[in-house]
Structure 1
């Protein structure tokens, strides 16, 4: 296999490998790095591909092992040990821009396997259990193929899957199975109203959008605000009064198949500068907001100034 042939075959699977590594790691930045590492390892081992499996399965095996190696690194082990129990406070969690999910040739990604709640919850699984759950329940691979890929017995795969499913249920939000898929009018309408209210600094309009039991989290800082009142206590001094940050500009975007907003502020200057990205879960109003630092603007190709 020459370099051109390898590059052509590998490029067909780059998008789905990025999603796979993202599910394993929870970090878009780390996933990008691990895709590159996967393709480098594959190129070095290209003579070992004998066609007993598909080229796609061979790449997945290399990618999974690269992710397991990364998860075993001392830095990630320390991060995992320090992670608090609630599902959304995973310090390394990053959003996944929908523009990469919608690229030509990208594999169709089911919303429930990419939404932030699922991504955060599976980070609580031990790495090998996580790999088994993703292979079996997300990718739909049979137990024997999963066992061969992970160098486990079929019995061990079945046991790991059972334990993984149990841990996943414990860490997913309550009643998640009852969430209504709202990729249509409600989400878009709430997103429109959220953008308009933010730019007007209209706290009353924002209050109307929040469910009483709404929740806001801020990885990597581990900050959690439970309930509408707690969220409003956070927002009020930022939006109103002498200590208000300034004039706001908000751009609607989409992340993890969820509506999201990139927020900018102008303070005594001529340009708006990045503040944060809010990813919304909408279900009869805003049920949850996951707020990411301004460093994630680069992931979405957002301008550094407006």
Structure 2
């Protein structure tokens, strides 16, 4: 599977084999900026954090500029940037997170708005598998599973299975042998199987359809009404719930619902909701009326994974994520926009 089979196309950057020695800083920035969004998504897959991905892309561009004379045109400029970005991510992981995630939760996980994913270069519409891989490997279930891998196997998995790089190129870029890359890929795939169901349809929501939209509408109505029974009826028996960065992973309908009740959900009256999409999944942003401000202010956003006509997972993010997701800072209390 490959979400990016064009990574090694010759001449993509227009630099050929001339290198970058004579390129001035504005021209270099123009070349690099073309790839900002896809590099950001790559770093996000590696790190699970939108903010960390922003930092690593900036560091990638800085390192690339400082080392521009090392670009010899043997690969594309784009591939060269990916190589630097991957190593920047590995450096950050070694510094900040020497151990991978454990226990099925990722406290540093942050959402990625679909409006920014739409900025990615268009994939080949004639390859549905490519489109599916691009979508599924940005969904939260996949990202959580990836974060449980050690950094280098994680990098190998993303470079090989998501970007579709040949093993020899991954080995060269990471400074490993082909055998070590293949071994790391086997370990990474085994690790993913421990954290994702064997069947793809059991962990990915797939393309949105009318049934999913209706389910999300019912979920939204029940949430605004704080109707616990109606919400429970929409959940799978093995539903999972988490709310990063708050610790805790709840598994099972009764466990999840009881957690909501104990957390005071039924007392959260006077909500409004806005539908959106995050990580190629349906999401609902909730606002709570604040009497003093005379408006509805951000409360939380629920990102849903729907499988088999029921909600299989809910990842809730705090209201501080709303600005990044392009959501309104407030909704008027009188119901007008």
Q: What is the alpha-carbon distance in structure 1 between the residues aligned to residue 299 and residue 93 of structure 2?
A: 30
Gapped regions of structure 1 (runs ≥ 5): none
Q: Out of 305, 314, 318, which is 1:289 matched to?
A: 314
Q: Which residue does the alignment assign to 1:150?
A: 174
Q: Out of 262, 273, 278, which is 1:250 matched to?
A: 273
Q: Which residue does the alignment assign to 1:111?
A: 135
- Cα drift, residue 184 of structure 1: 2.0
Gapped regions of structure 2 (runs ≥ 5): 1-22, 124-130, 332-337
Q: Which moved more, 1:159-168 or 1:192-201?
A: 192-201
Hey, which of these two has a bigger chunk of helix by percent? Answer: 1
Indicate if the aligned counterparts of 2:226 and 2:269 stay in contact, CA closer than 8 A.
no
Cα offsets for 1:196-232 (capped at 9, x unmatched): 2222333343233222322211222221222222222
Confirm whether residue 4 of structure 1 aligns to residue 20 of structure 2. Answer: no
Q: Which moved more, 1:39-48 or 1:152-161?
A: 39-48
Q: What is the alpha-carbon distance in structure 1 between the residues aligned to residue 87 and residue 136 of structure 2?
A: 24
Q: Which residue does the alignment assign to 1:221?
A: 246
- Cα drift, residue 303 of structure 1: 2.5
Aligned to 2:323, what secondary structure does the other structure show?
helix
Q: Out of 79, 94, 98, which is 2:110 matched to?
A: 94
Q: What is the alpha-carbon distance in structure 2 between the residues aligned to residue 36 and residue 192 of structure 1?
A: 39
Q: What is the alpha-carbon distance in structure 2 between the residues aligned to residue 202 and residue 14 of structure 1?
A: 43
Indicate if the aligned counterparts of 1:277 and 1:293 stay in contact, CA closer than 8 A.
yes
Q: For residues 150 and 72 of structure 1, do their structure 2 counterparts lie closer, same or farther at Cα, with a shift above 3 Å needed? A: same
Paired residue total:
296
Q: What is the alpha-carbon distance in structure 2 between the residues aligned to residue 3 and residue 190 of structure 1?
A: 51
Q: For residues 290 and 200 of structure 1, do their structure 2 counterparts lie closer, same or farther at Cα, with a shift above 3 Å needed? A: same
Q: For residues 25 and 136 of structure 1, do their structure 2 counterparts lie closer, same or farther at Cα, with a shift above 3 Å needed? A: same
Q: Which residue does the alignment assign to 1:33?
A: 55
Q: What is the alpha-carbon distance in structure 1 between the residues aligned to residue 185 and residue 251 of structure 2?
A: 32
**Superposed CA RMSD:** 1.9
Q: What is the alpha-carbon distance in structure 1 between the residues aligned to residue 277 and residue 290 of structure 2?
A: 26
- Cα drift, residue 267 of structure 1: 4.0
Indicate if the aligned counterparts of 1:273 and 1:305 stay in contact, CA closer than 8 A.
yes
Q: What is the alpha-carbon distance in structure 1 between the residues aligned to residue 329 and residue 25 of structure 2?
A: 37
Q: What is the alpha-carbon distance in structure 2 between the residues aligned to residue 300 and residue 93 of structure 1?
A: 14
Indicate if the aligned counterparts of 2:43 and 2:85 stay in contact, CA closer than 8 A.
yes
Q: Which residue does the alignment assign to 1:189?
A: 214
Matches within 5 A, 1:40-119: 40-73=62-95, 75-77=96-98, 80=99, 83-86=101-104, 89-103=105-119, 105=121, 110-119=134-143
Task: Give the TM-score normalised by structure 1.
Answer: 0.90
Q: What is the alpha-carbon distance in structure 2 between the residues aligned to residue 104 and residue 119 of structure 1?
A: 18
Indicate if the aligned counterparts of 1:198 and 1:249 stay in contact, CA closer than 8 A.
no
